[in-house]
Amino acid sequence: MYGPQPISSSIIHLLCRYPILVVPIAIGLIFGIPSLSQAPEDCLPSSLVTFTFDDGYFSTYEKAFPILEKYSYPATVFVISSAVGDSGYMTIEQILELADSGWEIGSHTVSHPDLTQLSDEQLKHELSVSKQYLENFGLTVRNFSSPHGRYDERVIEMISRYYDSHRTAWPDGLNNLPLNNPDDRYYLKSVSVEAKTTVDEVKQWITKAKEEEKWLILLFHRIDEIGDYNWSSEDFEEVVKFVYEESFEGVSMKEIW
């Protein structure tokens, strides 16, 4: 079910920008690496958009998933492992359905604490057990987002032991393509879309990403619910449609590495 994936579209784009990498890729093709045989013919746009969702709310599955499917965009959802199957959250079956449809499943800890307030042992538990829980169902969990957007250097060091990247929550910002150095993977910027955020504001970030040839990571929580981190499905679809009309390549977090 979770075998080798097609080569990352973003990697193909980076090859177009840095042709010196073509040689090792060609070697991979000669030796028959299956994921390298499906590379697109044309270079992709330099700017990318990633849709991400924190916590694992049911509305991610019920509301956001069908809209993104309509435009053939994947997303990354960062799951609180202890909340899986609770009221208002996705079941493991729904999470696996998203994965089967090309979504990435990331970790958002076991219990959603402020990681900076934990002991080393507690921190290790939150990072490792959440990952292991999801991987017990056959998922590959490579990326992480910190609850409440709270982290420090001790937290980042521990995250790097278990995950390939860490997505922050604020301040808002764009990411370089490619990243300036490998450590930037653990300080990935996002734009948090909240109840007070307007469609026009999000469109401005999308336009900025395109003009500056950057990577935009959009962060959502609830869709058609209530609270400070809720957004309507109508506004969400307007943004997804705009991304589509601007000919953005939509990628999940895992496709960058």
Q: What is the pLDDT of residues 181-191, one digit of tens each?
A: 999 999 999 99
Same domain flag for 194 and 75: yes
Are residues 177 and 215 both part of a single domain? yes
For residue 111, the model assigns a pLDDT of: 98
Residues 67 and 157 in one domain: yes
- The answer to whether residues 232 and 204 belong to one domain is yes
Sorting pLDDT into bands at 50, 70 and 90, what band is 18? very low
DSSP assignment string, 83-102: GTTSTTB--HHHHHHHHHTT
- CA–CA separation, 205 and 17 (whole Å): 23
Q: What is the domain extent for residue 182?
A: 45-255
**What is the reported pLDDT for 16?**
55
